[in-house]
Chain A
């Protein structure tokens, strides 16, 4: 069972959990803004480079 969950964690989350969490947060913010009638597409445009930069800077040294 542990190996099963480890497989799916690795498959979906990968090397850096921060990427998955950052993307989920960006999608939630996009959804909330869009639901409120606010222009929401810039959220992903800003969030994705920010998540990539943060993930690269968080790399193990």
Chain B
């Protein structure tokens, strides 16, 4: 009986972490393309395998809070950059398709983290965001397996439960990615900004030593909270906007 509970606990805890990684991978993949996200996720799996293989049970010695602060802080900065642009576009204060000009300028300077990567070029922004999300969550799954498994003396069962969670979450992701591609581009970018910001808030504060009420479930509140204040800001900016709009196309589709 206690083995079943161990497996169930490891499965659910791992699934929660994997769903968090999947959310980031789907959001970035749908908006920026799948190549960089697939490469970033694969690189994260390889790095994860190397870390887990090298450290084994010593894994719990990694300063996970420092990692959370670094990853959370970067996600938060990335997310707010996306959200800032999405808010300005949605409120009509920034043209929807000015990224081509920005990209051309930045490519001349070496290339940078613009919103959209050109065909054939490596999108390091998408790669990095996917890598960080998958690596951090994967590391947390490894922690769960080691701590759940070693305290009960059955690391193998906890590992099998985590693999089962990975299969279930991966199947869910395969079904979800196609419907997401039908969502208008700027709405998706708004959503990605909300997701990255929410996860960034969660990890950064947790890594800094804060304890969210309700643990991981507080992420749901953070998503609603971030979407709420962003949409409120859009509504306020629309009221402040001068009569002549900055863009002429697609504004109606930006915000659901």
Number of A-B residue pairs with CB-CB distance less than 8 Å in the complex they form: 105
A45 and B225 contact, CB distance less than 8 A: yes
Question: How distant is B117 from chain A, measured CB to nearest CB, in Å?
Answer: 13
Q: Is B113 a contact partner of A19 (Cβ separation < 8 A)?
A: no
Q: Give min CB distance, B123 to chain A, whole Å.
A: 12
Q: Which residues of A contact B131 (CB under 8 A)?
A: none
- Return the contact of A55 from the options B73, B80, B124 (Cβ within 8 A): B80
A6 adjacent to B84 (CB under 8 Å):
no
Shortest distance from the beta carbon of B110 to any chain A beta carbon, whole Å: 5
Let me know if A6 and B208 touch, CB within 8 A: no
**Nearest A residue (CB) for B94:** A59
CB <8 Å contact, B77 and A7: no
Question: CB distance B230 to A52 under 8 Å?
Answer: yes
How many angstroms between the C-alpha atoms of A31 and B84 in the bound complex? 25
- Which partner residue on chain A sits nearest B213 by CB separation? A41
**Pairwise interchain contact A6-B110, C-beta atoms closer than 8 A:** yes
Number of interface residues of A (CB under 8 A): 36
CA distance A10 to B111 in the complex (A): 9
| Residue ID in chain B nearest A40 by CB atoms | B210
CB 8 Å contact bits of B72-113 with A (1 = contact, 0 = none):
111011101101110110000110000000000010011111
**Which residues of A from 1 to 49 have beta carbons under 8 Å from B?**
3, 6-7, 10-16, 19-20, 23-24, 26-28, 30-31, 33-35, 39-41, 43-45, 48-49
Question: A11 to chain B: which residues have CB within 8 Å?
Answer: 112-113, 124-125, 128
CA distance in complex: A26, B210 (Å): 12
Q: Are B81 and A14 in contact, CB atoms less than 8 angstroms apart?
A: yes
- Tell me if B237 is interfacial: C-beta within 8 Å of chain A: yes
Q: How far is the CB of A11 from chain B (nearest CB, A)?
A: 5
Q: Is B74's CB under 8 angstroms from A40's CB?
A: no
Contact for A52 among B80, B111, B213, CB less than 8 A: B80
Q: Kindly list chain A residues whose C-beta atoms are within 8 Å of the C-beta of B93.
A: 59
Binds A, one of B40-48, B51-59, B178-186, B197-205: B197-205
In the complex, 12 of the A-B residue pairs with CB atoms within 8 angstroms, ordered by the A residue number, are A6-B112, A11-B112, A15-B81, A15-B84, A16-B84, A39-B210, A43-B205, A43-B210, A49-B233, A52-B80, A53-B233, A59-B93
Chain B, 217-256, CB within 8 A of any chain A CB: 225-226, 229-230, 233, 237
- Do residues A27 and B73 form an inter-chain contact, with CB atoms below 8 A? yes
* Known A12-B74, A44-B204, A59-B93: A19·B209 in contact at CB below 8 Å: no
Since A26-B204, A34-B208 are in contact, a sample of 11 more A-B pairs with Cβ atoms closer than 8 Å, ordered by chain A residue number, is: A7-B112, A10-B113, A19-B77, A19-B81, A20-B77, A30-B204, A31-B69, A34-B209, A41-B211, A52-B87, A56-B84
